[in-house]
Amino acid sequence: MILFSKLFKRILKPNFIFDNHLRNKIIMIVLISILLPTVLFFIYIYTFVSDYFYTHYVDTSISQATSHLEDSIVTNLRILENSYHLLLSNQSIRENLYIQEQTEPSYYNDQLVKLNIETELKYIMGNDFAFNSGLIESVFIFSNSDAYYALLFNYLPDESLLNYNLDFYDLYKQENESIIRYNESNKTIYYMKTIDDYITGEKLGKVLIGIDFEVLKGEYESDDYRDWISLIYDNDGIYRFNTNPDLIGLPVSEEILEHAAYKKTTRITSDNESYLVLSEHINDLDLTLINYAPIQYFGRDFWRFLPDYVYFIILSVLISIVVGIYSVSYITEPLEKITLTIADVSNSNFKAKMPMYKYKELNDLSIVYNKMIDQIQYLFNEVYEKQLLVQESELKALHAQINPHFIFNVLETITWEARISENEKIEQMITALAQLLRSNFSFTNQEKYVIEHELDYINFYLYLQTVRFVERLSYTIDISSDSLLQLYIPKFSIQTLVENAIIHGIEKKTGNSHLTIKVEECDHELHILVEDDGIGFDASILDLSGHNRPSPNQHIGLQNVDRRIKLLYGDHYGIHINSIIGQGTTAEILIPKDKEA
């Protein structure tokens, strides 16, 4: 309560709007952001929400009604089609109609055909769901000679039902197409089709079924859909169902055919009445279903719910204003702490971090800020580590230079002794060793040198190894372009890969071995490959990161080179190893083209 009283006192101050406090500005923005949309929303309710209600909210009701229509009436039509198929495809009925057509009329033959057909009808329809459920109340088979064979739902004679079927047959027997009509007198839909000979195509007779209209509707007609117009028509444009049953069997109007294109709820006006229309195509029966919902059906719901909706909006706005003002004041308090933290960093305290906040915006700011601090610390550590690595390399080089002039003088003396003794091989070996040591000492203070110097060093090293392995070792060096020899690489990077191939691959192999060094360029990058056909190893256990404590069998030299490359050029570059046990190893150095020492 104290916080709210302070807030309202601040709002009521004369200079509240012109105050330069950020908190006051945010409160004003929140109030405007809430009140302005609210006013516009009230206008929107009375101008547009009606159309939205009828075309979107009502869509669910119409879709449910369409599904209900499909579940009840379309399902019954599907059952009727199955019953018709059983009757039209029955071989016994066809044979008896054919016999009556081809034989001379006689009382015996007529009674035999009648017995056979009516017995077959009892057998077929006795197992038929449509007949047993009362959907089909009568089945008549008519021959070309107007003889009829009947089966009624209750299996008992019914003079009036018989007359309805005979009258319908007499009225439409000359029609070649299927005929469907509704009889208001007994609430029955009569559907008649022609029975044709499958081979000759000749007419054998007709089948006429009586469909109980009330059973066909099922549970579809209720108080919820009493004022709706629902219809179903076939591919020939003939009504198969209509809430106005007198239209069943009649052609569909052009206006109705146009409405079949409305696959989404659409508002139309017909005969000065407004409807919402939704159509659906029944693929397996090739039927089209259309529902017409009167607008006035939903009007009472709209105006019944509208006042409650408006009251809810007003209450929500009031609550939003109060909560918004409180939230702004509560959220802006951490800004002071953020300001203090940033001021601390300006005083060179790069370890000052922001805490995590409850709110996303402040928490995002805290995360970004802390990442920036971590990045600054990382850069400091990276520069420091790089300097340590360079110093370590120089220190190792200094340790290796224990009186180099003394070593060179001794090697020169041994060379002269070998020359005097005419031992040319020893002379060449000592000369190569001296060149190898001289190259090592010459670049002690350099982190990088050109590829040409590295390859000279490697040539001396490989010469000594070929002498060591006698005729077991051979090697080739392939440079794709001489211009690549003047590019810079980290010192001893290729030599480390060559030494690793000798020690871990070729040295342990029995038989001849070959080593290949390739230097290639690709766009702005340099690819250096060292391939050997040694014993290989399981590359999955190789840890180039150096995070784990090294063991005596690990390739520590590779780890050092990979680390130096990443420090010089970035984490994208480094060493990639591919090795197959028993076949050899391929080590690749990936670095950018470096033209600066």
Q: Which amino acid is at 178?
A: S
Residue 69 and residue 146 in one domain: yes
Question: Does 5 reside within a domain?
Answer: no
Tokens of 152: 């009624």
Residues 360-371: pLDDT tens digits? 777 888 888 888
Q: Do 536 and 554 form a contact (C-beta atoms < 8 A)?
A: no
Q: Please check whether residue 130 is in contact with residue 153, taking contact to mean a CB–CB distance below 8 angstroms.
A: no
Do 192 and 272 share a domain, yes or no? Answer: yes
CATH number of the structural domain spanning residue 554: 3.30.565.10
Q: Are 488 and 569 in contact (CB under 8 A)?
A: no
| Residue 487 falls inside a structural domain | yes
In a domain, 324, yes or no: no
Residue with the two structure tokens 């360079």: 390
Tokens standing for 22? 């950020």
Are residues 136 and 282 both part of a single domain?
Answer: yes
Give residue 31's pLDDT band: very low, low, confident or very high (50, 70, 90). Answer: confident
Q: Is the pLDDT of residue 54 over 70?
A: no
- Same domain for 85 and 156, yes or no, is yes
Q: Are 31 and 8 in contact (CB under 8 A)?
A: no
Q: What is the pLDDT of residues 90-110, one digit of tens each?
A: 888 888 988 888 888 888 888
The tens digit of pLDDT for each residue in 236-270 reads: 899 999 988 999 999 998 888 888 888 887 888 87
Same domain, 236 and 95: yes
Q: What is the DSSP string of 127-193?
A: T-HHHHTTSEEEEEEEETTS-EEEEETTSS--HHHHHHHHHHHHHHTT--S-EEEEETTTTEEEEEE
The predicted pLDDT at position 550 comes to 46
* Pair 209, 260 in one domain: yes
- Return the top range by mean pLDDT from 4-8, 97-101, 318-322, 552-556: 97-101
Quickly tell me which residue has 């996303």 as its tokens.
360
The verdict on 251 and 372 lying in the same domain is no
Same domain? For 99 and 172 the reply is yes
Residue 373 is assigned to a structural domain of this protein: yes
Q: How confident is the model at residue 402 (pLDDT cuts 50, 70, 90)?
A: very low
| The pLDDT value given to residue 156 | 73
The position carrying tokens 């420091």 is 384
Q: How many other CB atoms sit within 10 Å of the CB of residue 360?
A: 8
Q: Mean pLDDT for the chain?
A: 80
Q: What's the rounded mean pLDDT across residues 59-74?
A: 78
In this prediction, residue 166 has a pLDDT band, given cuts at 50, 70 and 90, of very high
* Last residue within a domain, chosen from 298, 322, 357: 298
Flag whether 23 is in a domain. Answer: no
> Which residue blocks in 187-294 are alpha helix, DSSP H?
213-217, 254-259
Residues 149-160 have pLDDT tens digits of 999 887 777 888
For residues 340-368, give the mean pLDDT.
78
One domain for residues 294 and 352: no
pTM of the predicted structure, to 2 decimals = 0.45
Query: Strand, helix or coil at 565?
Result: helix
Give the Cα separation of 591 and 485 in Å (integer). 14
Q: Has residue 549 got a pLDDT over 50?
A: no
Q: Report the pLDDT value the prediction gives residue 372, as an integer from 0 to 100.
A: 85
Predicted pLDDT at 552 = 46
Residue at a domain's end among 395, 410, 440: 395
Q: Does residue 418 lie in a domain region? A: no
Q: Is residue 459 in a domain?
A: no
For residue 1, pLDDT beyond 50: no
If one counts every other C-beta atom within 10 angstroms of the C-beta of residue 492, the result is 22
Residues 28-36: contacts with CB within 8 Å, 24+ apart? 30/321, 30/324, 30/325, 30/328, 31/321, 31/324, 31/325, 34/317, 34/320, 34/321, 34/324, 35/317, 35/321
- Could you list the residue range(s) of the whole structural domain that residue 279 is in? 54-298
How many Cβ atoms are within 10 Å of 528's Cβ, its own excluded? 21
> Per residue in 563-580, pLDDT tens?
889 988 988 999 999 999
Highest mean pLDDT among 8-12, 243-247, 350-354, 464-468: 243-247
- One domain, residues 481 and 557: yes
Assess whether 502 and 584 both reside in one domain. Answer: yes
Which span out of 279-288, 335-344, 550-559 was modeled with the highest average pLDDT? 279-288
User: Between 597 and 581, whose confidence is greater?
Assistant: 581
**Nearest residue to 533 (alpha-carbon basis) of 493, 492, 581:** 581
Task: Give ∠ CA 148-152-157 in degrees, rounded to 5.
Answer: 85
**Of 3, 17, 78, whose CA–CA distance to 234 is shortest?**
78
Our count of domains for the chain comes to 3
pLDDT for 262: 83
> Within a 13 Å sphere around the CA of 277, how many CA atoms are in the beta-carbon half?
21
Looking at the fold, whether 156 and 238 belong to one and the same domain comes out as yes
Q: Which of 23-37, 416-430, 444-458 has the lowest mean pLDDT?
A: 416-430
User: Where does a domain end: 376, 395, 414?
Assistant: 395
- Which residue intervals of 230-359 are DSSP H helices? 254-259, 295-332, 334-346
In a domain, 431, yes or no: no
Cβ-based neighbours of 18, under 8 Å, separated by 6 or more: none
